[in-house]
Amino acid sequence: MSNRRQTSLVEPLSERERAILRLLADGLTNREIADRLYLSYETVKWYNKQIYAKLGVANRTHAASLARERGLLDGENTPPAGVSPRPRHNLPAQVTTFIGRETQTSDIATLIRDRSARLVTLTGPGGVGKTRLALEVASGLSPEFSDGIHLVNLAPIRQPDRVADTIVATFNLDIPAEMSASEMLSKYLQERRMLLLIDNFEQVLEAAPLLVDLLSAAADLKILVTSREALGVYGETDYPVPPLSLPNIDHLEAVSDSLQYNSIELFVQRARAAKPRFRMSEKNLEPVSAICLRLDGLPLAIELAAARTKRLAPAELLKQLDQSVAALKVGPRGVPERQRTLQATITWSYDLLTHPEQALFACLSVFQGGFTLGAAERVAGDYVGVEDGLESLVGKNLLVQRGGFAEAYRFRMLETIHEYARDLLSEGNELDRYRHRHAEYFVGLGERAAPNLRGSEQGYWIGRLEADYENIHSALAWALGGGNWELGLRLMVSMRDYWYHQGPTADSLRWVELALDNIEHASIALRANVGLCAAHVLNHHGQPDRGNAVATNSLAIYRDLGDLQGTAWALIFRSFTFVGQKKKFDEAISNCDEGIALFRELDDEAGLAQALTIKGEIARFQGELNLAEDAYREALEVTLQSGERRRQSILYGYLDMVEYLIGNFGEAEAFMSEGLQLAWALGFTHIVALLLAALAGPLGRRGDPTQAATLLGSSATLRRMSGTAAEATDQLVIDGYAAVVRDQMGERAFEAAYSEGLLMDSKDAVVYALEGSTPRRLPVG
């Protein structure tokens, strides 16, 4: 025990508080403390406040200093009763027992411990159990890696250049602007003793050299990979994963001895999950053994077969399998043997379906990223009993059923099964038919959502579209690729306000460019709607001249058609393209006022709020601050009545900017705080990024340039992470704030604070903005 004298506290620290204080003094973040002590993040924050109060300090730095001075950290290696370190890994908990493979588990663990084998790749056909084996090995090695074991799942990606970003995301790292993702990884891993488990590498083999680079940069790093084929890079140890052990059908042991074969053990375990009363017996020993042999000991195939025991006895299963044994043995030519084996597994499961189930299985492959029951019933409407069919496919492990948006169940196919089903649909010459139905359904969804994206229910509809955006993307690609121009253009038009809520993204611009290139396929009325959508997107992407041209053309069409609502929207979108152009100020205000008058006449609150916002923008950039403030405040009143919370959050930001220019820095900061809290609660990332940067202005003026510069950096990182850019008009304001703060601090101090912001977690950045608390500093190496 230290000889240092421990002075009395207002109230003694509890054992839990002492444990947190020790970790806090060691420099751990609140989130890391939560992970270490099995606590929630919010609970750790609560304990911190208790500790600060008892010590009479205001922050963690003073708490740590005072704790050392008073000897409160003595005995820091002895955790309080009931507290044990959380294993430092992100490996998922397994819900089924790992079957066999003792030899393989031991061999792979030995390889990883060997200094000469730093990159070990588990190879084998799909369904052979590479991932489960890798997780079992990694779990057993957890105590041997002081910096943890981290799982990286590459299944969702197909682009090799996204591998580094995916690994970075695993560590929740923010990449500084001057570094690439691979450079960031090399720096972060440099001094760490860690095992990376990278799953499903086969579709991104071109990225394999990245792993060699990481191993070269980090001497204590080991990498365990699963892939259907070897990576083919220097230093790799290729470990083929064999099938499960199989019995000899000619010399069957007693029932009690049969479970020594892992294939039979797996079959029995999964069969009991499907039918709890299932037991091995003299009667079913032979057919179960024969099924495992027919399926070559592949775990996926065995699990699919075992699930059928709910309705079929093993002898019946074997009979069905015998009827399709030729298909299992002879897969398609021209593909690797491992794919033929996987195809055989799925083919056998497919052949066990009824004809209606087979047809449903194939047509469901038209969906991307999952679907709801309602979507399946509309797209697969030829088949009666779609709900029963889905339940059957889930039971046979050909579909996965999970909770989704608004608690609605969503279904999806595993990727390998999805590809197989899509091939079936193509071979039946029905792919275009169902893609057309698929597009029709999502056009209907988009057109139902569109009028609700500005109002009190916008949160629900934004989430609804987001849940199905992979399907919407797929429908746009097919329709605007020539599948059906009208459907594609209608779907694009319906997404206008969704893209507005998401902020400027490359995806929205891509579809607009494609639509404009093929606008001749549209009717006159649809052409005007396409132009309106395009004007909106182009202007938000900093192309006001092009936006003006298409908005002007749409305006002429709407006037000819006598469409007052379309005319009003075209007027205000056209006026928005003039923001910042002094010579066009009068014309911009005139267009905007005409649109405002029409929206008032139509009693269109959403349109009126948008028009008033645009008028405020035009006036602000002209320096007409009183006019801008009046427009923004009226727009805010309209949105408070209509419940359009997204626009409320951004209007707080715009009022912040106006008050800053007027010189009311305290009021500017108050508006920003309101907007930031609202945008964060709603999950509008690009608005959060804007408001973080907007706070820099008043902070700089009131004498807090360091906080201002830090928030400018965190805003830039949030933009990059969300894939959005600031609108051109907003970027001008942000650049102006940055210039003022830079002049106040000097170049070196500004860059240091800005760099701190680049490394901040988004939630911590928001807390720092609202409370001014010390920002979380993420490790970079």
Residue 697, C-beta contacts closer than 8 angstroms, at least 6 positions apart = 656, 657, 660, 668, 708, 733, 736, 737, 740
Q: Residue 447: inside a domain, yes or no?
A: no
3-state secondary structure 66-92: HHHHHCCCCCCCCCCCCCCCCCCECCC
369 lies in which domain range?
353-429
- Average pLDDT, integer, range 70-96: 58
Q: Residue 587: inside a domain, yes or no?
A: no
Decide if 54 contacts 11 (C-beta within 8 A).
yes
The DSSP secondary structure of 156-201, one letter per residue, reads T---GGGHHHHHHHHTTPPPPTTS-HHHHHHHHHTT--EEEEEE--
- Kindly compute the dihedral angle of the four CA atoms of residues 378, 382, 388, 390, in this order, to the nearest 10 degrees: -60
| Residue 344 reports pLDDT greater than 80 | no
What are the angstrom distances between the C-alpha of 28 and each of 24, 42, 168, 275, 628?
A: 5, 15, 20, 48, 46
pLDDT of residue 546: 94
105: number of CA atoms within 13 Å, CB side? 16
- Looking at the structure, do residues 67 and 111 belong to the same domain, yes or no? no
pLDDT of residue 605: 93
CA 601 to chain centre: 42
Q: What is the DSSP letter of 780?
A: -
Query: 359-377: per-residue pLDDT in tens?
Result: 999 999 999 989 999 999 9
Neighbouring CB atoms inside 10 A of 115's CB total 7
| Residue 126 reports pLDDT greater than 80 | no
- Kindly compute the dihedral angle of the four CA atoms of residues 652, 655, 661, 665, in this order, to the nearest 10 degrees: -60
334 Rama class: left (phi>0) / alpha (psi -120 to 50) / beta? left
Last-in-domain residue among 381, 408, 429:
429
pLDDT of residue 148: 87
Q: Which two tokens stand for residue 763?
A: 């939630």
User: Rounded to whole angstroms, how far apart are CA atoms 365 and 684?
Assistant: 32
pLDDT of residue 7: 45
What is the number of domains present in the chain?
5
- Looking at the structure, do residues 74 and 152 belong to the same domain, yes or no? no
Q: Residue 645: inside a domain, yes or no?
A: no
The DSSP secondary structure of 483-530, one letter per residue, reads I-HHHHHHHHHHTHHHHHHH-S-HHHHHHHHHHHHTGGGS-HHHHHHH
User: Rounded to whole angstroms, how far apart are CA atoms 507 and 510?
Assistant: 5
Decide if 471 contacts 438 (C-beta within 8 A).
yes
Q: Which two tokens stand for residue 728?
A: 């051109």
Query: 494-515: per-residue pLDDT in tens?
Result: 999 998 877 667 788 999 999 9
3-state secondary structure 348-379: HHHHCCCHHHHHHHHHHHHCCCCEEHHHHHHH
- At residue 333 the predicted structure's pLDDT band, cuts being 50, 70 and 90, is very low
- At residue 82 the predicted structure's pLDDT band, cuts being 50, 70 and 90, is very low
- Looking at the structure, do residues 224 and 111 belong to the same domain, yes or no? yes
What are the angstrom distances between the C-alpha of 461 and each of 335, 452, 526, 679, 687?
A: 43, 7, 23, 16, 18
- Looking at the structure, do residues 113 and 3 belong to the same domain, yes or no? no
- At residue 308 the predicted structure's pLDDT band, cuts being 50, 70 and 90, is confident
Q: Residue 779: inside a domain, yes or no?
A: no
The domain spanning residue 132 has which CATH number? 3.40.50.300
Planar angle of CA 594, 595, 596, nearest 5 degrees: 90
109 Rama class: left (phi>0) / alpha (psi -120 to 50) / beta? alpha
User: Rounded to whole angstroms, how far apart are CA atoms 707 and 657?
Assistant: 17
Neighbouring CB atoms inside 10 A of 746's CB total 11
CA 584 to chain centre: 42
Query: 434-470: per-residue pLDDT in tens?
Result: 999 999 999 999 999 999 988 788 888 988 999 999 9
Round the average pLDDT of the chain to a whole number and report it: 84
Q: Integer distance in angstroms from the first to the last C-alpha of the chain? A: 34
| Residue 613 reports pLDDT greater than 70 | yes
| Residue 86 reports pLDDT greater than 50 | no
- Looking at the structure, do residues 215 and 295 belong to the same domain, yes or no? no
- Kindly compute the dihedral angle of the four CA atoms of residues 740, 744, 750, 756, in this order, to the nearest 10 degrees: -90
pLDDT of residue 64: 81
Q: Which two tokens stand for residue 419?
A: 């590809």
Paired residues of 371 in beta bridges: 411
Q: Which two tokens stand for residue 488?
A: 């594609």
Decide if 589 contacts 628 (C-beta within 8 A).
no
- Looking at the structure, do residues 112 and 80 belong to the same domain, yes or no? no
The domain spanning residue 377 has which CATH number? 1.10.10.10
Planar angle of CA 714, 715, 717, nearest 5 degrees: 65
Q: Residue 486: inside a domain, yes or no?
A: no
Last-in-domain residue among 24, 54, 86:
86
| Residue 721 reports pLDDT greater than 70 | yes
- At residue 651 the predicted structure's pLDDT band, cuts being 50, 70 and 90, is very high
User: Rounded to whole angstroms, how far apart are CA atoms 266 and 301?
Assistant: 11
| Residue 662 reports pLDDT greater than 70 | yes
Which is more confidently placed, 87 or 263? Answer: 263
At 333, phi and psi to the nearest 5? -75, 160
* Sheet of 194-199, strand order: 149-153, 194-199, 221-227, 119-123, 236-240
- Average pLDDT, integer, range 628-641: 94
- Looking at the structure, do residues 110 and 205 belong to the same domain, yes or no? yes
- Looking at the structure, do residues 161 and 230 belong to the same domain, yes or no? yes
Which among 381, 374, 418 has a CA at the least distance from the CA of 158? 418
Q: Which two tokens stand for residue 169?
A: 């995301």
CA 506 to chain centre: 17
pLDDT of residue 416: 61
- Looking at the structure, do residues 294 and 211 belong to the same domain, yes or no? no
- Looking at the structure, do residues 228 and 308 belong to the same domain, yes or no? no
Residue entry with tokens 């038209």: 366
Query: 513-551: per-residue pLDDT in tens?
Result: 999 998 888 899 999 999 999 999 998 888 999 999 999
Q: Residue 402: inside a domain, yes or no?
A: yes
Find which of 332-336, 467-471, 722-726 is predicted with most confidence, using mean pLDDT: 467-471
| Residue 274 reports pLDDT greater than 60 | yes
- Looking at the structure, do residues 145 and 259 belong to the same domain, yes or no? no
Decide if 672 contacts 715 (C-beta within 8 A).
no
- Average pLDDT, integer, range 349-359: 83
- At residue 319 the predicted structure's pLDDT band, cuts being 50, 70 and 90, is confident
- Average pLDDT, integer, range 141-154: 88
Q: Residue 117: inside a domain, yes or no?
A: yes
Last-in-domain residue among 412, 429, 446:
429
Question: How many DSSP H helices and E strands does the chain contain?
Answer: 40, 8
CA 160 to chain centre: 18
The DSSP secondary structure of 285-317, one letter per residue, reads HHHHHHHHHHTTT-HHHHHHHHHGGGTS-HHHH
% of the chain exceeding 70 in pLDDT: 88
pLDDT of residue 76: 44
Q: Residue 192: inside a domain, yes or no?
A: yes
Query: 9-53: per-residue pLDDT in tens?
Result: 556 777 778 888 888 887 788 877 876 665 667 777 878 888 888
- Looking at the structure, do residues 335 and 269 belong to the same domain, yes or no? yes
